[in-house]
Structure 1
């Protein structure tokens, strides 16, 4: 699937994000794409910055004659670690030793890709000809969000099980992507207005909210109250016609201001700290990027020039605002840029933290 031909034939409505440039360059790997290998492994791509001829991605499904078997049980660091152990034992060629961080990550070689599933192509397909009731519902949600926000349908995608065609029409969720910062902010505003109308688009509440909070508190170092506070701040997860949906903003390729190898990272240990959010404009993406200041390290290595808070845990994307004080536990990293400048950042979602990291509002409101 995909490639330059697919890009050229994609909708008459050009897939742009406030520019004449397409949001996807031919051949690029984007966050929430899926890659199927010749062995029947299915990976979900993470972010837009990748090594040459590879894509950073986590293993989610294994295909067989009996269908798709989900091997990533939950979205959390320890569960991703389980899939990495499986790759280590059976498919080590999918693990990549990253010279710029000194760490090992799953990264799919381009030569191993049998099929590249692109969310924007699946949206076009289901809007034109939905194959079952869930696809029809997803197409209605895309139309509603497009009409409410003024963002063209060509700037949306659908990911997850529907993208792969392995969904259950009665039980699966709807996972959408939106391409471009401006487009994502417009969809967020439209969605918040739809929540207030309390029509077919609603926030979780009651028993469904309780179950969501219990799951997050089980998977992350959060109390039930803290999980509830995180959901209160979350705009991108709700219900449409009683089906759970999520929205995942993705940078347009021309918005990605970094290339692989621009920075060299060195882990310096786990820290607990307090910090003030200075800039949250890039926090809605994955990884979420917050510029921070007034950092006070409470535990772990002491350091100056801690300028960024980065999260690969989507739970913390886009939920903290400028001027807000937060508590964080994560991996302190030394960052050396290509121009020789050095600063530090705190990373949430590292293997080293083993699921013990977090970002919480401070002082806690719960």
Structure 2
């Protein structure tokens, strides 16, 4: 049994991240994360990874989808309710599975062998053990999970399992960010993380993006005194096993009905931290596109729009309107933000930003 952020390595050596919690019975819907250099090379200087023996390149934005679709079509699996193929791995093509919590447990059994592992232990001692949280409810992902991190350049990527632990870790981080002596700060306290970079989203400005990211709290900076380095630290929300509901068998059909622009009111944000992020909504006003009376939710597969809005807020959304038909005969509509054409036109943002955390 696998869940979001578990890693699959295929027989070709491609590395996929299991994406979300809704999967067909014979495979896993995924996001392509890394490829060995004999299969893919990237011109992006940030993409290079090595474990000392092999070289890998990381996929950014939708290039993983494009690469797999063009070169490894057997890793495009049929999503029957959608009626089209998505990136995924069939069970018989899984060669190796790596799980974040198991990898972290292994790393913590040993004395840290380098600066990054030492910093990881310090971060966990302060944020997890220091506040009495169970270490088994945390893991590592990204290059730490795969073992090809760079001790002096890589980030610290941590999974936090369960809504209860996420709520507590956000409280802890907020407290640390306000303590100038804590060695922690909010990565998005200013716009330095995106300053000077090409901005491709059309309907959210860099300043709006930073405002939304800042209040998510899960993106931090740890000032490591031993390595004298400012290290990005992310706490990635993942559902605990008891919180997971695989909707795949409950859905009969999902049909796209056009592009929509709308203002919506957030009624329930409890699934907003997880992937895909789900916001239960009611319509305020449809600006453009089909007008339907049963628009119930926003579903975002894009990490930029995770934890983007809270209960009671009004948001502006652009994306694909879809009709969802369930096996029991019920149906409703949703707006979906996902990979594909018009990627950078999609948006989910608070209509009137306020100083709210």
**SS of 1:363's equivalent?**
coil
Give the counterpart of 2:55 among 57, 64, 68: 68
Instruction: Map Cα deviations across residues 73-96 of structure 1 (whole Å, 9 max, x no partner).
Output: x2x3xxx2x323322332111001
Are 1:217 and 2:182 matched, yes or no? no
**SS of 2:275's equivalent?**
coil
Are 1:154 and 2:136 matched, yes or no? yes
Give the counterpart of 2:83 among 96, 102, 108: 102
Query: 1:35–1:137: structure 2 CA closer, same or farther, 3 Å change rule?
Result: same
Give the counterpart of 1:135 among 117, 137, 152: 117
Once residues 90 and 118 of structure 2 are traced to their aligned partners in structure 1, the CA distance between those partners, rounded to angstroms, is 34
Note the 1:8-23 alignment, pairs <5 A.
none
Once residues 55 and 202 of structure 2 are traced to their aligned partners in structure 1, the CA distance between those partners, rounded to angstroms, is 27
Which segments of 5 or more consecutive residues in structure 2 lack a partner in the other structure? 39-52, 224-229
Give the TM-score normalised by the residue count of structure 1: 0.85
Give the counterpart of 1:245 among 219, 223, 233: 233
Give the TM-score normalised by the residue count of structure 2: 0.87
Once residues 324 and 149 of structure 1 are traced to their aligned partners in structure 2, the CA distance between those partners, rounded to angstroms, is 31
Are 1:278 and 2:267 matched, yes or no? yes
User: Post-superposition shift, 1:339?
Assistant: 1.6
Equivalent residue number for residue 90 of structure 1 = 71
Please tell me the root mean square deviation across aligned C-alpha atoms, in Å. 2.1
Query: 1:44–1:222: structure 2 CA closer, same or farther, 3 Å change rule?
Result: same
Which segments of 5 or more consecutive residues in structure 1 lack a partner in the other structure? 1-27
Segment of structure 1 superposing worse, 252-261 or 282-291: 252-261
**SS of 1:56's equivalent?**
strand
Instruction: Map Cα deviations across residues 173-215 of structure 1 (whole Å, 9 max, x no partner).
Output: 1111011111111111111111111321111267x73232554
Note the 1:169-248 alignment, pairs <5 A.
169-198=151-180, 199-204=182-187, 209-212=191-194, 215=197, 217-218=199-200, 221-241=203-223, 242-248=230-236
**SS of 1:344's equivalent?**
strand
Query: 1:349–1:304: structure 2 CA closer, same or farther, 3 Å change rule?
Result: same
Once residues 203 and 364 of structure 1 are traced to their aligned partners in structure 2, the CA distance between those partners, rounded to angstroms, is 18
Equivalent residue number for residue 250 of structure 2 = 262
**SS of 1:355's equivalent?**
helix
Query: 1:41–1:303: structure 2 CA closer, same or farther, 3 Å change rule?
Result: same
Once residues 246 and 188 of structure 1 are traced to their aligned partners in structure 2, the CA distance between those partners, rounded to angstroms, is 11
Instruction: Map Cα deviations across residues 130-158 of structure 1 (whole Å, 9 max, x no partner).
Output: 33211221122122221344320000000
User: Post-superposition shift, 1:64?
Assistant: 5.1
Once residues 292 and 350 of structure 1 are traced to their aligned partners in structure 2, the CA distance between those partners, rounded to angstroms, is 22
Once residues 92 and 355 of structure 1 are traced to their aligned partners in structure 2, the CA distance between those partners, rounded to angstroms, is 25
Instruction: Map Cα deviations across residues 148-170 of structure 1 (whole Å, 9 max, x no partner).
Output: 44320000000001100111111
Q: Does the 8 Å CA contact 1:40/1:64 hold for their aligned counterparts?
A: no
**SS of 2:193's equivalent?**
helix
Once residues 327 and 110 of structure 1 are traced to their aligned partners in structure 2, the CA distance between those partners, rounded to angstroms, is 39
Q: Does the 8 Å CA contact 1:214/1:224 hold for their aligned counterparts?
A: no
* Bigger proportion of residues as helix: 1
Once residues 128 and 240 of structure 2 are traced to their aligned partners in structure 1, the CA distance between those partners, rounded to angstroms, is 17
Give the counterpart of 1:327 among 316, 319, 328: 316
**SS of 2:281's equivalent?**
strand
**SS of 1:120's equivalent?**
helix
Query: 1:325–1:213: structure 2 CA closer, same or farther, 3 Å change rule?
Result: farther
Segment of structure 1 superposing worse, 28-37 or 210-219: 210-219
Are 1:49 and 2:22 matched, yes or no? yes
Runs of 4+ in 1 over 4 A off after TM superposition: 213-216
